Amino acid sequence: MAKPIRKPVRKSEQKHRSLVNEPLPLGRENYIILGAGILVIVAGYLAMLEGSVEGFLPLVLSPILLVTGYCVVIPIGIMYRKSSIKEPPVAEPLNRA
């Protein structure tokens, strides 16, 4: 069986089509989570600015905040997706008396 012949599409038209049809990759919730991650990271760097060298904030709290921000909150903000699977409503059983 012969394959149908396709008309070649110009690259400029192809780019225009793909830009119009694609939604934004991240939603509102993603940006909120990313903002929270940035705030955690900034708090970690501010805790590191404390004057004492051997204090609790720069040696203990600051690394915990930085690792949490960079390795937990930011990746969650990038990978989070709202679940779009909706379960069908369950029918109630009939009562026979």
Tens of pLDDT, residues 9-47 = 666 655 555 555 667 788 999 999 999 999 999 999 999
pLDDT band at 5; cut points 50, 70, 90: confident
C-alpha span between 43 and 20 (Å, rounded): 39
> What is the value of pTM for the model shown?
0.63
Compare 91 and 5 and report the one with higher pLDDT: 5
C-alpha span between 22 and 14 (Å, rounded): 12
Question: 35: which 2 tokens?
Answer: 């903002």
**Cβ-based neighbours of 29, under 8 Å, separated by 6 or more:** 80, 82
C-alpha span between 71 and 63 (Å, rounded): 11
